[in-house]
Structure 1
């Protein structure tokens, strides 16, 4: 039994001697930061009605376009943030970087409160928040990979990924309870918790400073620096491009469908907004379940097996386009199934860290995941331009189907990593 336990812990890098309770509290600390990283993306949904409200009614007097621009720059900011904090974590460690990120999330989210009606301050602050948010995935996922054996990583990565769905549910409840009049309190719900997460991380997350220095020293001995240029060499260049294309296909296909689903149901099918919203909400529930199921499958059978979910996403979206307005039950069912299928990405946090040598963990997962945003940033507006005439949203959905299929092919070509870790 002792030998078996030793084998189980052989791939744990951080905190090999800490108790399971301490390890669980360390995971909770990282998960709390990750939850409010996800939650921060929803600040726009909460504040937008106040932003575009008239000043005489307590609003900021922004135009709808201005409000969209504020949160568009935030999304763009995640791209340079991935590079910046990825490199920083290779110098000072992932724990310290994640703690700094959590505190900066709180600070940059607070900045607009100094002058809420200043649109330029909002744009600058939300861009900075985006930069900071871009570093979370690349620090949180590798930390979990360093603290737990390979056989748990898929499920734990899926748990973190699933927090986005929970953050959506939580955010809706908070917004419903507080409303537009309490927009400042809503902002504080995105400001205070990351600080709490940072404090907990200081206390419970094992320090990786020594491990980080060890990797740097090894790099100096071999003349190889831990950098993106060093990571993308030989076969890893093609693996890196493959992961970016896979993430890009995910962001593009999922957004093309989800961003237009309710509009399609109302304008093309003729449903009421209430029914369309109810159908759409079931997608979130299905996705929450899918993250855990596909994450467990990835741990047991292989990191590539969930590509079945990506292929099924294409099938289910196509069936969705074939349903008529008299088949509301069918729409409910397909919405759940689409949500469940797109949970395929739940284990990517583990998969992307394992595809590259362990010394690049601080860089590989963040770039592999957020690098896909570069693809979707250009692809999604182009796809939106295909909606026209009597076909309405249908061309967008057909393109989403094709991109899901293309992503499945890319994933099939990438290597398997679970067997390698077991060996």
Structure 2
């Protein structure tokens, strides 16, 4: 067995090209998980203009989808530990494709849209916590940060792809656009079935080992002892990421147009450049995390705070500087690219199917409360500058919290003992 494969868990006999084919299958399901969030772009104008939905109704349809991701994360983790991650991922892909199709049966039915999108969100909530640990078990540790970053960066690619496709087909082809979110994940599920090694027997072995220790593979067991504070800390860390990113990004174009007086075209270009930088940044920080450690991207989180300050000090005459700052800011926001790998390594191997999803998506609960509070700052005397100040400090607080979490990258120890470093770090 090669050194490249010795700390992988699944399919140890597989060659690296064969592993990459399995990764490509998982990545296809992951990409269209990201892409499914763009269905809002495709159908909202038609729901309002053709079917007579109010803007509030149209917004509520997609709000319940986000709400569904939290319980979906928890249930998917339980299914992974019981049935295996491969089988769970296949079921998730099929279900979110079918639920995306369901409203097409009666597209003017508001209740049907709400139910379908809630269940879709429930399914989507399980994708991150299922696919990333599966990738982590397919590959040695030195590749995991890069591969997790590739998965994370597909959200940016999905945004670009969705925007281009929508521009090409337009509102009149809205059903065809929805079908573009239905068929590919079904094909991806088929590829996962044939190309990804089954981990059901491995999960059974972990359950048996846990039973011998009088424990279970459950969230309650995962959060015992020192892992309770680690678990709470990473959820809060994810929350600071969501609040800082959305708090800035949701208000950036408004700031540029209403406060500085830029044209929508110029503001849109500046914001798009941030997206390009973020796409590169996810992979940049993922590469560094595999080489120098999972906590190296803290630099990017600190840089986010500093660059938002610089951004808020620029004027309408500083267009070229805005382009540069926006690009570097986007790269810095990519600091979370390797979190999928990091979150699977912070906990013992037997909890891998539970830890990544709840650690990442649990932060959405914090952002659900935090983002309205941040938005409310704009109504005070501080205005938009106040929003930027708040998210600057949120990013700094997240970086400080991350600093005190353990490092998990091991350059000379096999993956079977990832928690020895955590023990010494605490």
Q: TM-score, normalised by structure 2?
A: 0.96
Note the C-alpha offset of 1:422.
Answer: 3.6
Note the C-alpha offset of 1:40.
Answer: 0.4
Which secondary structure does the structure 1 equivalent of 2:180 belong to? Answer: helix
Note the C-alpha offset of 1:385.
Answer: 1.0
The equivalent position to 1:267 in structure 2, one of 243, 247, 258, is 258
Separation in 2, partners of 1:94, 1:391 = 47
Separation in 2, partners of 1:152, 1:314 = 29
The equivalent position to 1:257 in structure 2, one of 239, 244, 248, is 248
1:220 aligns with 2:216: no
Note the C-alpha offset of 1:218.
Answer: 1.1
RMSD between aligned alpha carbons?
Answer: 1.1
Residue 335 of structure 1 is matched in structure 2 by 326
Change (3 A) 1:421 1:43: farther
Which secondary structure does the structure 2 equivalent of 1:61 belong to? Answer: coil
Residue 183 of structure 2 is matched in structure 1 by 192
Q: Equivalences for 1:89-168 in 2 at 5 Å?
A: 89-168=80-159
Residue 25 of structure 1 is matched in structure 2 by 21
Note the C-alpha offset of 1:230.
Answer: 0.4
Separation in 2, partners of 1:70, 1:382 = 22
Separation in 2, partners of 1:78, 1:310 = 25
Change (3 A) 1:266 1:305: same
The equivalent position to 1:311 in structure 2, one of 297, 302, 309, is 302
Residue 322 of structure 1 is matched in structure 2 by 313
Note the C-alpha offset of 1:389.
Answer: 5.8
Per-residue CA deviation, residues 271-322 of structure 1 (Å, 9 max, x unaligned), is 1111110110001100011011100100000000100000000000110000
Residue 202 of structure 1 is matched in structure 2 by 193
Residue 347 of structure 1 is matched in structure 2 by 338
Which secondary structure does the structure 2 equivalent of 1:12 belong to? Answer: coil
Residue 76 of structure 2 is matched in structure 1 by 85
Note the C-alpha offset of 1:123.
Answer: 1.0
Residue 38 of structure 1 is matched in structure 2 by 34
Residue 226 of structure 2 is matched in structure 1 by 235
CA contact (8 A) 1:150 1:422 kept: no
Which secondary structure does the structure 2 equivalent of 1:270 belong to? Answer: coil
Separation in 1, partners of 2:160, 2:363 = 25
Per-residue CA deviation, residues 172-226 of structure 1 (Å, 9 max, x unaligned), is 1110111000000000000000000000000000010110110111122111010
Separation in 2, partners of 1:199, 1:94 = 15
1:175 aligns with 2:166: yes
Say which is worse superposed, 66-75 or 385-394, in terms of deviation.
385-394
Per-residue CA deviation, residues 5-58 of structure 1 (Å, 9 max, x unaligned), is 2x43221100000122221110000000000000001110121111111xxxxx
The equivalent position to 2:57 in structure 1, one of 48, 60, 66, is 66
Per-residue CA deviation, residues 141-184 of structure 1 (Å, 9 max, x unaligned), is 00000000000000000000010011011111110111000000
CA contact (8 A) 1:86 1:363 kept: yes
Residue 56 of structure 1 is matched in structure 2 by none
Separation in 1, partners of 2:380, 2:47 = 33
4+ runs deviating over 4 angstroms = none
Structure 2: state its 5+ residue gaps. 415-426
Note the C-alpha offset of 1:65.
Answer: 1.0
1:367 aligns with 2:358: yes
Q: How many residues align?
A: 414
Per-residue CA deviation, residues 255-283 of structure 1 (Å, 9 max, x unaligned), is 00001111111100101111110110001
Separation in 2, partners of 1:102, 1:272 = 41
Separation in 1, partners of 2:212, 2:381 = 65
CA contact (8 A) 1:105 1:132 kept: yes
Change (3 A) 1:69 1:172: same
Which secondary structure does the structure 2 equivalent of 1:52 belong to? Answer: helix
Q: TM-score, normalised by structure 1?
A: 0.96
Separation in 1, partners of 2:190, 2:380 = 55
CA contact (8 A) 1:108 1:125 kept: yes
